[in-house]
Amino acid sequence: MGKVIAVAQQKGGSGKTMLTAQFAVAMAAAGSRVAALDIDPQGSLAAWGRLRAGAAKAGAAVDVTNVSGWRLAAEVERLKAAYDFVLIDTPPVIDSDARRAIRGADLVLIPMNPSPPDLWAAEGTLKLAVEEKRRVVLMFNRAAANSRLRRRMETEIAARKLVLLTEAIGNRAAFANAFAEGLGVTEAGPNGVAAEEVRAAVAGLMGYL
């Protein structure tokens, strides 16, 4: 059975859709069978998937689907049986679909900018993951390589005994540019810094699966 990663965060602009797409491509490029499931009503990941279907540079096979409501649990089980990894892009609210996704996940990944409001916004997701007895990993997105605020947030997260992924994603235009073409940065610029960050983050995430 495949492993399920629910990418969840209540705060808008955390980059969870972009990260879901980037990680799915990188995992597929490494040889895994990967599905990306969009349960966010905004449908941005599904739109990316449609772009990807016609993108000449899209070399890695990623099955992008979208579903919601009572069909979600059955769809997650179906995908787990057919793929090595299933990444779920969840809605930016704690609703029944988000709960179903977290309940069906092996790991909950919470992306956040290294700032107090993003950690505050994660409280609902953290609480839900505890209720569902699911492991949680936080990760910094759009992060400066070294800043006083980032160090402060690392200290606060450690003090709360939360798990923070060592690898972080920087604030780079390459991510938005690749996403707009239905690609991952590992395809659009495989030798760039953004691609290196994604591959490193995926490798770090595997340690928690």
Query: If you search the block for the tokens 């092996």, which residue do you land on?
Result: 106
Provide mean pLDDT across the span 94-120.
Answer: 91
**What is the distance of C-alpha 59 from the center of its chain?**
20
DSSP string covering 15-61, please? Answer: -HHHHHHHHHHHHHHTT--EEEEE--TT-HHHHHHHHHHT-TT--S-
Domain that residue 135 falls in:
3-206
Q: Which of 79, 110, 92, 136 is nearest to 7 (CA)?
A: 110
Residue 126, CA distances (Å) to 60, 95, 107, 163, 202 in order: 32, 14, 12, 11, 21
Query: Quick one: pLDDT at residue 80?
Result: 95
Residue pair 28/34 in contact by the 8 Å Cβ criterion: yes
- Domains contained in the chain, number: 1
Token pair, residue 122, equals 């994660």
Q: Report helix, strand or coil for 182.
A: coil
Instruction: Check which CATH number belongs to the domain holding 94 and give it.
Output: 3.40.50.300
Residues in the chain: 209
Residue 171, CA distances (Å) to 114, 142, 145, 183 in order: 11, 4, 9, 17
Q: CA-CA distance, 8 to 205, in Å (whole number)?
A: 15
How does the average pLDDT of the chain come out, rounded? 93
- Model pTM score: 0.94
List pLDDT tens digits, range 24-81. 999 999 999 999 999 998 999 999 999 999 998 999 999 999 987 778 889 999 999 9
Query: Quick one: pLDDT at residue 144?
Result: 84
Residue pair 104/3 in contact by the 8 Å Cβ criterion: no
Query: Quick one: pLDDT at residue 69?
Result: 77
Provide mean pLDDT across the span 190-209.
Answer: 96
List pLDDT tens digits, range 124-158. 999 999 999 999 999 999 998 778 999 999 999 99
Asked if pLDDT for residue 89 goes beyond 80, the answer is yes
Token pair, residue 77, equals 């089980």
Task: Give the distance between the most distant pair of CA atoms in the chain.
Answer: 47
CB proximity list for 57: less than 8 A, separation 6 or greater: 181, 183, 187, 188
